Every structure is written in structure tokens, then in C-alpha cells.
Structure 1
């Protein structure tokens, strides 16, 4: 059976995601208990597991309350065990994981933090990328460096184009403004921002194909030429863009 995806707004600008099928329900990240538990109760769903992408409080702080209310297992990266809530299942890139009867690929997306993982559901064409690849942007580099984040984005960019990228925040206003400042003639970006402003489409999720067309961090070559970096390595252009965004 296809998986049902529910996008939840939490805190000020966080996203959490419920994924449901006849086999049960899982949550990706736990920013705030009330909207998540309210949605579960409204739908009459239990909760089988919480998948945690990284250790920042705005992605994990509601885990104990949700576990107490639902009995859900907690799944997270073995490399981040010391900074996550107690894990029932520790996962690692390249090791098999099954969720709701579907294989799930754990992808190392270090950069925003070291040990950050994304969860890719290939059969359902969904990837939960949290603060790595984001809508029209990427996460700030708190622990990793530009080369590390570029490697992570390259891994995500290798996924099929119809993959739904489920990122961790609605930063569309800031990300969109920066994207337009470095890619002003991008018609696809202009159309996306117009549709978001008119509430015709959400900020996230969005397909990887749309991110490829509108996200400056996935478009280093054409943007690099405008920055006077024609012929530069993509990783170098990415590093320049990330520095520019930090000061934007």
C-alpha cells in the first residue's frame, strides 16, 4: 500500500512529518508534542516509531513526551547516540532498515551537524532531509565544513528527480530572497516564489527536480559564472554561496 504523508507545522517554522500505512505510523523528527499528538488523535492513529535526523533540540525535544503518550520506538543515527534521546534502534548509512514494510536508505548528510542523516523511502519516492537539503536552500554549517555539505548535497542530488524532498523548516522567505538575489533571471524560481506567495503550493515538500531548478545550492555552475567563477570547481562555488547566504 502507498504511504500517506502528513506535513505538520511545529514551533515557529519547523516541519515534522507523519508517514502512515496499513502497517502503522511513524514520525520524522519531534519538534513539538501538541500538534503531533493532536493530529494522531484526530486521525485515530497510533505511533510506532520516531525517526530522528539530528540532535538539535528543535528536532528532538518533544521525543520523551511523545514516547510517553504513544510507546513509540526511537530510531536515530548510531554516530549521534550520545546526543540523541535514548535510541531503541541505532542506524547507520549503508545498513538495512525497514519501516512500515518498506526498505529505507539511511544517508549521511553531515554538514549542518556531523552525524546528521536523511531517510530515503525509495518505493514511495520520499526523502526526509531535515536541515541538509532544504527548500531553496541548505542548512547553515554549524559543525561541518563546505566540502562536507557539498558531498552530502551531491548524495541527495543523485536521487531520482521525482523524489519528494521533505525538509525541516519553512525558511522560504529568506531562502527565496537569497536565491533570487544570485539567480535573478531564473523563471522557474520566480514561478515557485509566486505560487508560494499566493498559497498555491507549500514551501515544502517539493520534488528534487523542482529543487534542482530553483535551489542555488544545487545550481553552482550557472550561478558561479555570474559570480565571476566560471570554470571553478562546484564545491568551491558552493562554499562561496554558503558564505554569501550566511551574510545575507
Structure 2
């Protein structure tokens, strides 16, 4: 499916997304990945790959932020606005890295007068870069924790309620995946903040005891699977956990 190019059509899609249509959000983000990648690569002046480039992850998050912060009432086309948001987010990353390089260059001598090697400076810059990515992850976790609270799920307690056995964990993952794919069931969960246990028993074949015992884990997982672009780091982690 080709990206929506007409600005009026784009505005209609964004309006649906801003009112809670998560399927439209995911489709829109997937359709505009080439635009996101091109914007990031034009700024970085080098090729980037989705599987290996942190810049693309940051650009994707910035594009998602642009969707949420875009004011439909203003007469500004969305894509130029999104490009500015992406560029600003990446430039902020580059400024932080640049400041670190400058600090490193001024601090090339240690207390004993030994000159730091380029490898040591690069190592320090890499460490700073990793901290920046960790900041993104921390913001995502804070947003996730806030969402879980609405469902009566304590983020810190998730470790305790997570199934220890692989078979049990896989069963709950499948239930969560089923919920995320079934729009009607997901709408019930989002509206009532409760699992439709009886319906899940009929449609998944999983017994009541397992569903009730894994209730918090199922809710927490289904939310990430339903909002993959809102929680990209958690979504990646869950996908690895289901292998």
C-alpha cells in the first residue's frame, strides 16, 4: 500500500489516530517508514538500516510524537512538520554527542598528564550515545507504567506474576496475541479494564484458572502488542521472548 500523499487524506488519517485508532497508527507508521528513513539519512549523510541504526529508532519515535502533537487546525502540511520534529530530535542527539566530544577533547589529559587515545575518546562517546538510547527506553517505560496503572497492574509486580515455566509463558503470550488481534475483545479490555474471561475460555480453549492466574501478565503483554509503535523497545523485547 502506497503512502497517503494528499494532505487532506493525511489529515483524515491523523484525525482517526488522534482519536484512538491504533490500527490506523500502525498502518500509517509502516507506510511512512521510507519517508522516516530518508529524512534521517539526509540529516546523517550516510546509509542507515532499521535493524542496526539507533538513529532510525529515534526518528520513528519522533515521527510518532509528531502524529500526536500535530495541530490539525493549523494550515501547516503534516509531512514538513514531521520532518522538523525528526530533525530536531536527531540534532538534539548530535548536539549532546558533540558536547561530549568537546568535553573529551578538553579532558584528553588525565591527572598524571597521560594523553587519552582516540579509542578511549570514542569509547566515551559511545557510552554517552548508549545513555541517550537508555533515556528513550526510560521514557517509554514511564509511559507504559502509567498505562498499566489504569488497568490496576503494578509494573514492579509484573516480575512476580510472570510465569516461570516456558510452556505457561507461551500460553499466556498466545492469549495476549489473540486479544491484540481481535478488535472487539481489545475494545472491551480498553473500555472495561478487565479481561473477558468467559469469552477467552470459549475462543482460546485456555482454562479459567490459567487465565485468572495470568490476568496481569496477559493485560500487560496485550497492551504492548496492540501499541507496538508506542512501545517499540518493549515490543522488540516481547518478540524476542516469544522465540
TM surpasses 0.5: no
TM-score (norm. length: structure 2)? 0.26
Greater RCO structure (CA 8 Å; 6+ sep): 2
Give the greater-gyration-radius structure (CA).
Answer: 2
The structure in which a higher percent of residues are helix is 2
TM-score (norm. length: structure 1)? 0.25
The structure in which a higher percent of residues are strand is 1
